[in-house]
Amino acid sequence: MIRVLVVDNSAFMRRRISDILNTDKEIEVIDYAKTGSEAIKKVVQLKPDVITLDIDMPDIDGLTALQYIMSEIPTPVIIISAYAAPGSTNALKAVELGAVDIVSKPEGEISYNIDVLEKDILNKVKRASKVNVKQAQDVMNRLMMRRPAESEKVAASLKHLVVIGASTGGPRAIKEVLPYFSADVSASFLLVQHMPPDFTKSMAERLNWSTKIEIKEAEHGDVIKPGCGYLAPGNYHMVVGRNKDEAIICLHQGPKVSCVRPSITVTMNSAVEFFGNRVIGVLLTGMGSDGAEGLKNIKKAGGVTLAEDESTCVVYGMPRAAIEANVVDKVVPLFHMGIEIMKYIRE
């Protein structure tokens, strides 16, 4: 049984969410909490397998409670809130703090029609129960304890193009990899995270605070420069184009690939056309198989292909698909991925 703690300020919503969860024979609601402080106490006492957590609550709000839970008692958390719409600051903050998934209430804080999301809620709770958040949190703690390595002098010219792709669990994974790159690194970074529109700009801004390289949401026509990272905007494929002798960013809304846009494979394939064996392809945590075909083409061109090890993935889908296709040069745990990428950049 998947033991779930339901946390919500509204008695009606606690009851309705519990009713939905209890329709599935694999799920058991073990208790409720109506405030953030009560939720923390019950997580410590009951050690649930999954928590559903509202954001707007008295005394301690949901995001503060989430931060404490993930640092002290790491447990898979699904945010169910009216204040975490796709693209919102709260939604991105929740993902960064460690929430496995988010459900946006359809009619505000008291959603009488929450039943329309029954299938979505059940699927996300089951998926969350399989996520090893403790391991992911341990990785983040180790990163925070490290002293940043001294910046090394590297050539200012663009020697490598690094394409990093991620999906579920990706914002935190990407945030962990980026601090290893110095401002004068001789590579540029294309970042593809499966996210809806209006979400990626905020993510790029937050990433920019935590790394020495310059991160921005990509714009059509951006010149690809060393020491810079470009995050694909939601609902746009990001490809490498040419303007005379310069590599530039081109954005388009062509058909979805592997059911997604932006697609990691689309970006990787275009990178190979311009940079050939100077491309380093990286697949991090995520559902599905996007990126496997892209790594295949990078490997075929003589570039380097890396995938995150299962032990640190929130969801092992994309790396597994690439590994099973025999297109990965090296499988690397997340806390070594930045070091590994730098090793190839220096060669």
Domain boundaries, the chain: 2-131, 150-346
Q: Is the pLDDT of residue 347 over 80?
A: no
Please state, in angstroms and as integers, the Cα–Cα distance from residue 293 to each residue in 155, 238, 274, 326, following that order: 31, 16, 17, 11
Q: Sorting pLDDT into bands at 50, 70 and 90, what band is 134?
A: low
- For the ranges 18-32, 200-214, 310-324, the lowest mean pLDDT is seen at 200-214
Catalytic residues: 167, 194, 290
Q: Does residue 122 surpass a pLDDT of 70? A: yes
> In this structure, are strands 246-252 and 237-243 parallel, antiparallel, or unpaired?
antiparallel
Closest CA to 159 of 187, 178, 135: 187
Domain 2-131 listed as CATH 3.40.50.2300? yes
Indicate the helix (H) or strand (E) that contains 282. Answer: strand 279-283
Q: What percent of the chain has pLDDT over 90?
A: 58
Q: How far apart are CA 211 and CA 325, in angstroms?
A: 32
Least-confidence region, from 37-51, 175-189, 233-247, 292-306: 233-247
Token code pair at residue 274: 């311009």
CA angle 56, 205, 218 (to 5 degrees): 125
Cα–Cα distance between 64 and 16 in angstroms, integer?
Answer: 24
Q: What is the pLDDT of residues 158-191, one digit of tens each?
A: 789 999 999 988 998 999 999 889 888 999 999 9
User: By the 8 A CB rule, do 284 and 319 touch?
Assistant: yes
By the 10 Å C-beta count (0-12 exposed, 13-18 middle, 19+ buried), 205 is classed as middle
Nearest to 280 by CA among 256, 266, 301, 252: 301
Which range, 79-83, 90-94, 106-110, is most confident?
Answer: 79-83
How confident is the model at residue 106, as a pLDDT? 87
Among 248-257, 267-276, 325-334, name the one with the lowest average pLDDT.
248-257
Same fold yes or no, 2-131 and 150-346: yes
The CATH classification of domain 150-346, taken from the options 3.40.190.10, 3.30.70.260, 3.40.50.180, 3.40.50.150: 3.40.50.180
Average pLDDT, whole number, for the chain? 87
- Type of residue at 180: Y
Check pLDDT > 50 for residue 146: no
User: Which pTM does this prediction carry?
Assistant: 0.62
